[in-house]
């Protein structure tokens, strides 16, 4: 069993229908609400619905959709496949930026066939609508009305969980939860709450999600019904909406029984009991019907009969239905206030005046997957922190679901628990793992989990605390009346019972005292109690005539209560006095007025029947009861006489055996049936009787007395016979006792001897136990060392048993050998190792046979090389118990070896390819290597030169021996790697030659070598001499030319400035003429054409059309002249400034070139000198012209902004771009650069192929001021 997603209001009582009463709170103002007859077309006409059902739910199903990153596309795909009318209401909650306006409603409205609106506080819910959550707000729903709240703390990150939990709490099983693409794990807890309330959960497949984190997290909590793409989810939603309109399913969803299908419902319950052993007939039928309806909708089944047949052939579905019915929804520290009360109030009371050796025992009944059990354990350890003597602790968790118990035992929970567990507790009590968080060993050792059925399994005992939260709300009244006394029996006298917020102790107020009404904590009261028994099978009572009356549970628990009330009235009013006794004649129960027949005797109180029955009828009652016990038959005795005041009344005694089921001892019903008292008329008749009648009465009285005397004699005779038999038994028993006494004396002597032997053995066991404890400590330490070694070593290590099964492995083995923790004990041959080798089994068998080590080089599937080392696993006593397999990464070594081979080949090729004569000598100056150029220089072959001494060779050839030997010896005496020397040598004779000798020292692998080049530089020396002469001559000529160029550059800059000024002046003049002359004349010509057209007669249609065309062409020509005038000289610069001019230029460029051209400015000053403004304008104009001609793009951007050092103009496009270093700049770029230089600005071009071009002009503040001063001076 598990809990609901939200705790219910403490003031509510457990209802008969539904899982739990609705959560209390402030109800909104109610208005008019109209619902159509068809639930699929229900409409709401007010924001505060009135048409809620008896559980305060909307009359139609609702869909909560949560998403994050990539969720907009998924929502669009989902809405594209939904029809306009499904009868469902949709809520979309996405993670949106808090500081930006959301356009989500507009985006979804373009794709949805339904109306889409943004949620506001107080919004009512209607079907066939999509409600979108606004940014920076949390959405909750209460009684069908949406409300907004400001996010705070953890809730801000879990807006989807917050809404889905609220939706599940308010709308129960009418909720469908959908999680789409997104990051993080928001939404998983919300789906868990929906599943707990009997709703349906759907998740987008991670493969189809742009960001799969949220779908994967939701799937990992095992509360998902459907995993599909958004388009397929839409189809499932339509199917759910269609099936929800089916009458039978609608009744089941509301917890009611469809007409004529009660036997099918009983058939399903029987199938469930056969699988789980849990009798679900004792649960609330409404809850089970809702769960069945949910499964039927998922499988598209419309009738209970069809579903029952489906269950018979599908065991998996039967198990799934059982798990759904055993609602396994819970969280860590659910209702945190309760756990604070437990830690700060309950535990101090429990440990007050308590011996530290006494064990703390807690039982969590219906623990689901164990979160509540571990929550109690954490609170206990937090309370005991710092205590020197920590008591023994045992916390039991039980549940009827085997699957939930297995999860609780594993103690592994997803990352979503961070929403309920503080970071400090996560750090202290959990261990991070691949699957989320795992309970640490200390907490796990305190908790014991077991599968238990509260209906009939025996309970635990001597409990300090029992927590059974939100479990009883799913039980029927009969099962509740059994469970609560069971808890009383299981608790210590000072123990506590904790129930859910919507649960009460019902009529057992004499067993428990409420200590905290808000958190439903009860203290046990009263003395010891026996464990109550609940017979879940049909029960029978054997009557006198042998008939068996079956006591069956009525269809309605309300009928049962009514029947019991009627039975109590009938028994109290008309039933005969009776008592129920066991086979020891102890009175268990009484019925009616038994004071005529039973009475308390003086002395100690007792419930023994023979001690309480009146003395005058004790013999008859004893004889009848003993006969009934011995023969197990009904016994009837008539003619009992008892005194009722002054009147003697007759009665009939009946003793009936009660045949009860189970292991309960036999019981008997002792019934006293008194005769009817004489009426007044009979008394009057008897008062006036004749002597004959009186004599007859005396005869009857005498007969009765004789009968009583005969019964008494028979009773006394039976007592005498019984006494004689007992005496004989006592004589035999005495003899046996005497014999046994002798045997016991002998046995006692043997026991004394055995005791001494046991004492000696006990001493030995103590010694062995101490040794075992020491060994256990050493074993634990060794195990920890091995665990840390395997976890710390950075090598894949695998330990195998003799049969090649996996025993242990180091963490790096998971990647290389492809092994997982679950593979422990698995044969190695079943693994698919990540190595390019077919089968390692022969190698392993060879090592086991030869007991030697083997090493081979292997390559993994990623191309990395490893040294596979296999050795026998030897124990301390030199036994072979398996193998140790290690993989050493030699990939780097292999690569280095390969690089060395390549380097060696490369060096040889380099030596041979060097055009200079090159020789390598060792420390003895012997030649070790030469190249072809050296051989050509010496006119010797490589074999002739090998092992010859270099100084001797060069001395014989060129007289170069002493100087070379000295340099070589100098390096040998004080070697330094990389140190070099160089000298020149000229040979004597008529045709002297000059050689350049260069040497450096090498020390590869510690061995000393010298690398020497001997180059004939005779020709170089002559060339140097000639070059030096030419250089001196050119230097003087360059100096003269440089001075001339300096003067020309200054003149060129002045000329350029004059040219720009003249150009602008000429542009201004031509623009003025075009505007003042040509434009005016064109305007006059257009007016003349208009006059001519008006003067033509109506019949001259052809002429008029020709004149119109001429006028149109004149208009176009006039516009072209205007544009030409504007381009030649934009007067807007002089009139309005640079910023409006650039904006006008950009807009006109975009229209002309059909491009997206944008202009931006940060309010840079328009009061620039005309010269700078004009230059910047021309640069922008030329840059845009280049964009149109070369960029091949449809977007350009112009920006003008102020900077601390001045002003910056930037023109950028996003087109083809070019590489400035590789391409010669065109005239346009040169013109722009020259204009920037003219106004003292820097000019930069940033461009790359395929990345567009950005031109930046930075006008320094000094240039602006200088130009302004110059303008002022002018």
- Domain harbouring 1170, CATH code: 3.30.565.10
Label residue 1109 by pLDDT band (50, 70, 90): confident
538-542, 798-802, 1158-1162, 1246-1250: least confidently modelled range: 538-542
Counting Cα atoms < 13 Å in the Cβ hemisphere of 550 gives: 5
Residue 320 near residue 307, CB atoms below 8 Å: no
Rg (CA), the chain: 53
Which residue, 1243, 1197, 1245, 1241, is CA-closest to 1222? 1245
Q: Both 370 and 482 in a single domain? A: yes
Mean pLDDT over residues 665-669, rounded?
A: 85
Label residue 760 by pLDDT band (50, 70, 90): low
DSSP, res 575: P
Q: Cβ of 1154: how many Cβ atoms within 10 Å?
A: 9
Examine the pLDDT at 733 and tell me if it is beyond 80.
no
Q: What is residue 540's predicted lDDT score, i.e. its pLDDT? A: 31
With vertex at residue 516, the alpha carbon angle to CA 509 and CA 477, rounded to the nearest 5 degrees, is 40
Say how many domains are in the chain. 8
Domain that holds residue 899: 895-1016
Mean pLDDT over residues 383-391, rounded?
A: 78
Please list, in sequence order, all residues whose beta carbon lies within 8 angstroms of the beta carbon of residue 638, skipping any fewer than 6 positions away.
652, 653
Mean pLDDT over residues 171-191, rounded?
A: 89
| Cα-based torsion angle of the residue sequence 949, 950, 951, 955 in order, rounded to the nearest 10 degrees | 110
Q: Both 66 and 176 in a single domain? A: yes
Q: Both 115 and 181 in a single domain? A: yes
Q: Both 850 and 734 in a single domain? A: no
From residue 494, alpha-carbon distances to 351, 607, 1059 in Å are 11, 28, 109
Q: Both 280 and 238 in a single domain? A: no
In a domain, 11, yes or no: no
pLDDT: which is higher, 1027 or 148: 148
Q: Cβ of 296: how many Cβ atoms within 10 Å?
A: 23
Which stretch of DSSP H or E encloses residue 264? helix 262-276
Q: Cβ of 555: how many Cβ atoms within 10 Å?
A: 12
In a domain, 93, yes or no: yes
Examine the pLDDT at 1171 and tell me if it is beyond 90.
no
In a domain, 1143, yes or no: yes
**Residues 1036-1063 pLDDT 10s:** 777 777 666 666 556 555 555 556 566 6
Q: Both 103 and 137 in a single domain? A: yes
Counting Cα atoms < 13 Å in the Cβ hemisphere of 1070 gives: 14
**Residues 549-586 pLDDT 10s:** 333 333 444 555 566 667 667 766 677 889 999 888 88
Q: What is residue 764's predicted lDDT score, i.e. its pLDDT? A: 66
3 state DSSP class of 1017: coil
CATH number at residue 678: 3.30.450.20
In a domain, 1110, yes or no: no
Q: What is residue 461's predicted lDDT score, i.e. its pLDDT? A: 82
**Residues 938-969 pLDDT 10s:** 778 777 777 788 777 777 667 676 777 777 77
From residue 109, alpha-carbon distances to 34, 85, 90, 114, 468 in Å are 26, 15, 13, 8, 48
How many Å apart are CA 1243 and CA 1210, to the nearest integer?
A: 10
Round the average pLDDT of the chain to a whole number and report it. 77
Label residue 781 by pLDDT band (50, 70, 90): confident
Q: Both 190 and 287 in a single domain? A: no
CATH number at residue 347: 3.40.50.150
Mean pLDDT over residues 867-894, rounded?
A: 86
Q: What is residue 527's predicted lDDT score, i.e. its pLDDT? A: 61
Q: Both 679 and 607 in a single domain? A: yes
In a domain, 557, yes or no: no
Q: Both 1166 and 1262 in a single domain? A: yes
From residue 823, alpha-carbon distances to 129, 196, 806, 814, 1149 in Å are 51, 34, 7, 10, 71
Decide which of 992, 1016, 1040 is a domain's last residue.
1016
DSSP, res 1077: I
Which residue, 571, 612, 569, is CA-closest to 593? 571
Decide which of 1016, 1041, 1056 is a domain's last residue.
1016
**Residues 64-91 pLDDT 10s:** 999 987 788 999 999 999 999 999 999 9
| Cα-based torsion angle of the residue sequence 1126, 1129, 1134, 1137 in order, rounded to the nearest 10 degrees | 70
Q: What is residue 1240's predicted lDDT score, i.e. its pLDDT? A: 83
How many Å apart are CA 53 and CA 68, to the nearest integer?
A: 33
Q: What is residue 42's predicted lDDT score, i.e. its pLDDT? A: 36
Decide which of 186, 216, 245 is a domain's last residue.
245
In a domain, 765, yes or no: yes
In a domain, 1160, yes or no: yes
Which residue, 576, 659, 652, is CA-closest to 621? 652
Please list, in sequence order, all residues whose beta carbon lies within 8 angstroms of the beta carbon of residue 1103, skipping any fewer than 6 positions away.
1096
Backbone phi and psi for residue 889, each to the nearest 5 degrees, phi listed first: -75, 110
How many Å apart are CA 410 and CA 932, to the nearest integer?
A: 76
Q: Both 1265 and 1168 in a single domain? A: yes
With vertex at residue 921, the alpha carbon angle to CA 916 and CA 923, rounded to the nearest 5 degrees, is 150
Please list, in sequence order, all residues whose beta carbon lies within 8 angstroms of the beta carbon of residue 582, skipping any fewer than 6 positions away.
588, 665, 666, 667, 668
Examine the pLDDT at 1193 and tell me if it is beyond 80.
no
Q: Both 802 and 736 in a single domain? A: no
Mean pLDDT over residues 336-364, rounded?
A: 90
Q: What percent of the chain has pLDDT over 70?
A: 76
How many Å apart are CA 921 and CA 1012, to the nearest integer?
A: 8
Q: What is residue 862's predicted lDDT score, i.e. its pLDDT? A: 82
Q: Which of 181-195, 369-383, 602-616, 934-948 is most confident? A: 369-383
In a domain, 12, yes or no: no
Label residue 235 by pLDDT band (50, 70, 90): very high
Residue 64 near residue 167, CB atoms below 8 Å: yes
Q: Both 668 and 770 in a single domain? A: no
pLDDT: which is higher, 1237 or 231: 231
């Amino acid at each position: 069993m598990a809990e609901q997603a939200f705790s219910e209001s403490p003031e509510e009582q457990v209802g008969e229908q539904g899982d739990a009463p609705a959560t209390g709170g402030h109800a909104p103002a109610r208005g008019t609400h109209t619902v159509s007859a068809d639930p699929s077309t229900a409409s709401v006409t007010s924001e505060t619905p009135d048409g809620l059902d008896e559980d305060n739910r909307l009359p139609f199903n609702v869909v909560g959709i949560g998403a994050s990153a990539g969720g907009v596309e998924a929502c669009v795909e989902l809405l594209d496949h939904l029809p306009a009318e499904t009868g469902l209401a949709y809520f979309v909650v996405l993670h949106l930026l808090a500081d930006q306006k959301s356009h989500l409603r507009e985006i979804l409205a373009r794709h949805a066939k339904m109306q889409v609106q943004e949620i506001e506080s107080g919004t009512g819910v209607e079907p066939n609508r999509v409600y979108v959550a606004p940014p920076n707000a949390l959405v909750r729903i209460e009684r069908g009305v949406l409300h907004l709240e400001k996010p705070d703390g953890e809730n801000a990150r879990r807006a989807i969980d917050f809404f889905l939990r609220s939706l599940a709490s308010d709308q129960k099983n009418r909720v469908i939860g959908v999680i789409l693409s997104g990051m993080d794990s928001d939404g998983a807890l919300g789906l868990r709450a929906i599943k707990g309330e009997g709703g349906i959960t759907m998740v987008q497949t991670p493969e189809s999600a742009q960001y799969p984190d949220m779908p994967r997290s939701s799937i990992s909590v095992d509360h998902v019904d459907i995993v599909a793409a958004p388009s397929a989810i839409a189809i499932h939603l339509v199917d759910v909406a269609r099936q929800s309109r089916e009458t039978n399913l609608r009744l089941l969803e509301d917890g009611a029984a469809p007409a004529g299908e009660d036997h099918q419902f009983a058939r399903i319950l029987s199938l469930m009991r056969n699988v789980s052993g849990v009798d679900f007939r004792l649960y609330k039928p409404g809850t089970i019907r809702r769960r069945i309806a949910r499964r039927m909708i998922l499988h598209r089944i419309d009738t209970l009969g069809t579903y029952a047949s489906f269950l018979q052939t599908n065991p998996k579905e039967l198990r799934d239905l059982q798990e759904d019915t055993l609602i396994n929804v819970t969280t860590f520290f659910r209702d945190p206030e309760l756990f604070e009360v437990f830690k700060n109030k309950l535990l101090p009371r429990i440990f007050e005046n308590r011996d530290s050796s006494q064990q703390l025992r807690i039982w969590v009944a219906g623990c689901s997957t164990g979160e509540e059990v571990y929550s109690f354990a954490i609170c206990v350890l937090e309370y005991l922190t710092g205590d020197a003597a920590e008591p023994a602790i045992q916390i039991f968790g039980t549940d009827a679901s085997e699957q939930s118990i297995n999860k609780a035992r594993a103690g592994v929970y997803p990352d979503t628990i961070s929403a309920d567990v503080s970071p400090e507790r996560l750090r202290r009590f959990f261990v991070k793992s691949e699957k989320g968080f795992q309970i640490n060993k200390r907490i796990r050792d305190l908790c014991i989990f077991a599968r238990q059925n509260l209906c009939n399994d025996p309970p635990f005992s001597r409990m300090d605390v029992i927590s059974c939260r939100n479990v009883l709300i799913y039980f029927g009244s009969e099962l509740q009346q059994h469970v609560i006394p069971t808890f009383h029996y299981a608790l210590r006298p000072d123990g506590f019972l904790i129930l859910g917020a919507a649960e009460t102790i019902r009529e057992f107020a004499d067993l428990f005292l409420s200590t905290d009404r808000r958190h439903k904590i009860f203290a046990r009261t009263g003395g010891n109690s026996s464990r109550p028994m609940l017979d879940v099978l049909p029960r029978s009572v054997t009557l006198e005539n042998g008939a068996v009356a079956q006591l069956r549970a009525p269809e309605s628990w309300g009928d049962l209560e009514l029947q019991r009330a009627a039975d109590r009235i009938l028994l109290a009013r008309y039933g005969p006095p009776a008592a129920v006794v066991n086979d020891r004649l102890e009175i268990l129960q009484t019925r009616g007025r038994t004071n005529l027949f039973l009475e308390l005797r003086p002395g100690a109180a007792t419930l023994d029947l023979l001690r309480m029955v009146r003395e005058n009828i004790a013999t008859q009652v004893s004889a009848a009861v003993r006969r009934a016990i011995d023969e197990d038959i009904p016994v009837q005795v008539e003619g009992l006489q008892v005194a009722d005041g002054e009147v003697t009344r007759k009665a009939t005694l009946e003793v009936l055996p009660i045949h009860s089921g189970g292991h309960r001892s036999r019981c008997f019903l002792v019934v006293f049936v008194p005769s009817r008292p004489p009426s007044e008329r009979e008394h009057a008749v008897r008062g006036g009787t004749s002597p004959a009648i009186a004599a007859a009465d005396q005869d009857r009285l005498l007969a009765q007395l004789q009968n009583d005397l005969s019964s008494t004699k028979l009773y006394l005779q039976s007592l005498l016979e019984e006494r004689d038999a007992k005496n004989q038994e006592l004589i035999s028993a005495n003899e046996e006792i005497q014999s046994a006494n002798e045997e016991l004396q002998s046995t006692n002597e043997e026991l004394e001897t055995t005791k001494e032997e046991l004492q000696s053995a006990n001493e030995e066991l103590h010694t062995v136990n101490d040794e075992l404890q020491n060994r256990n400590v050493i074993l634990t330490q060794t195990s920890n060392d091995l665990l840390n070694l395997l976890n710390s070593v950075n090598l894949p290590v695998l330990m195998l048993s003799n049969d090649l099964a996996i025993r242990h492995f180091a963490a790096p083995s998971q990647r290389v050998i492809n092994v997982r923790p679950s593979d422990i004990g698995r044969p190695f041959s079943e693994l698919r190792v990540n190595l390019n080798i077919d089968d390692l089994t022969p190698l392993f068998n060879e090592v086991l046979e030869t007991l030697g080590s083997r090493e081979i080089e292997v390559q993994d599937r990623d191309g990395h090389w490893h040294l596979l080392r296999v050795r026998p696993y030897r124990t301390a006593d030199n036994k072979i118990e398996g193998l140790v397999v290690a993989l050493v990464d030699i990939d780097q070594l292999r690569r280095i070896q390969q690089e060395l081979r390549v380097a060696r080949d490369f060096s040889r090729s380099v030596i041979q390819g060097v055009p200079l004569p090159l020789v390598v000598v060792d420390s003895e100056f012997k030649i070790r290597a030469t190249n072809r150029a050296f051989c050509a220089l010496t006119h010797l072959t490589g074999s002739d030169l090998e092992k010859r001494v270099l100084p001797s060779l060069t001395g014989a050839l060129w007289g170069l021996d002493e100087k070379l030997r000295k340099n070589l010896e100098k390096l040998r005496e004080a070697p330094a790697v990389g140190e070099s020397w160089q000298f020149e040598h000229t040979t004597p004779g008529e045709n002297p030659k000059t050689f350049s000798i260069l040497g450096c020292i090498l020390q590869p692998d510690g061995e000393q070598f010298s690398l020497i080049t001997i180059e004939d530089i005779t020709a170089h020396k002559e060339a140097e001499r000639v070059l030096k002469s030419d250089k001196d001559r050119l230097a003087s000529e360059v100096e003269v030319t440089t001075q001339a160029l300096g003067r020309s550059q200054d003149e060129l800059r002045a000329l350029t400035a004059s040219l720009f000024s003249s150009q602008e002046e000429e542009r201004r003049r031509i623009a003025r003429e075009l505007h003042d002359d040509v434009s005016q004349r064109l305007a006059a010509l257009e007016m003349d054409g208009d006059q001519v057209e008006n003067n033509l007669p109506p019949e001259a249609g052809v002429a008029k059309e020709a004149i119109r065309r001429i006028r149109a062409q004149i208009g176009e020509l006039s516009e072209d002249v205007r544009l030409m005038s504007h381009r030649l000289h934009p007067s807007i610069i002089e009139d309005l400034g640079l910023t409006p001019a650039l904006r006008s230029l950009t807009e006109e460029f975009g229209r002309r070139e059909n491009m997206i051209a944008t202009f931006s400015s940060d309010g840079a000053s328009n009061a620039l000198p005309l010269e700078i403004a004009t230059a910047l304008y021309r640069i922008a104009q030329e840059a845009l012209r280049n964009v149109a001609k070369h960029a091949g793009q449809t977007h350009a951007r112009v920006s003008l902004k102020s900077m601390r050092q001045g002003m910056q103009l930037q023109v950028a496009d996003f087109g083809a771009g070019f590489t400035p270093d590789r391409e010669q700049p065109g005239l346009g770029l040169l013109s722009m650069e020259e204009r920037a230089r003219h106004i003292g600005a820097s000019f930069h071009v940033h461009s790359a192929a395929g990345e567009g071009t950005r031109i930046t002009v930075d006008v320094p503040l000094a240039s602006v001021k200088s130009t302004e001063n110059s303008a002022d001076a002018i």
